[in-house]
A = this chain, B = another copy of it.
Amino acid sequence: VVEGVHFAKGVSPAAVGWKAMMRPLSDFAAMSGLPQFALITLMASPRTELAWVRKCYAGLTKAASRFDVAIVGGETSSTPGPVAITVAVTGMIEPGRAILRSGGRAGDDLLVTGRLGGSIRGHHLRFTPRIQESRWLTANFVIHAMMDLSDGLGADLPRLAAASGVGFEIDRASLPRNRSVTVDAAIADGEDYELLLAVPPRTTARLLRQWRRKFPRVPLTRIGRLTKRSAKTSALRRGYVHFQ
Contacts and interface: CB of A to CB of B under 8 A. Distances in A.
Interface of A: 1-2, 4-6, 24, 37, 39, 41, 43, 46, 74-82, 84, 86, 88, 90, 242-243
20 contacts: A1-B77, A2-B43, A2-B80, A2-B81, A4-B80, A5-B77, A5-B80, A41-B41, A41-B86, A41-B88, A43-B84, A75-B86, A77-B84, A78-B242, A80-B81, A80-B82, A81-B82, A84-B84, A86-B88, A90-B90
A5 B78 CA distance: 7
Nearest to A90: B90
A5 B39 contact: no
CB-CB nearest 4 A-B residue pairs? A81-B81, A88-B88, A41-B86, A86-B86
Contacts of A77: 1-2, 5-6, 84, 242
Given A4-B80, A6-B77, A79-B84, 5 more contacts: A2-B79, A2-B80, A5-B80, A78-B243, A79-B82
Contacts of A5: 77-80
A169 to B, nearest CB: 31
A89 to B, nearest CB: 9
Contact of A242 (B1, B76, B80, B88): B76
A240 to B, nearest CB: 11
Nearest to A77: B2
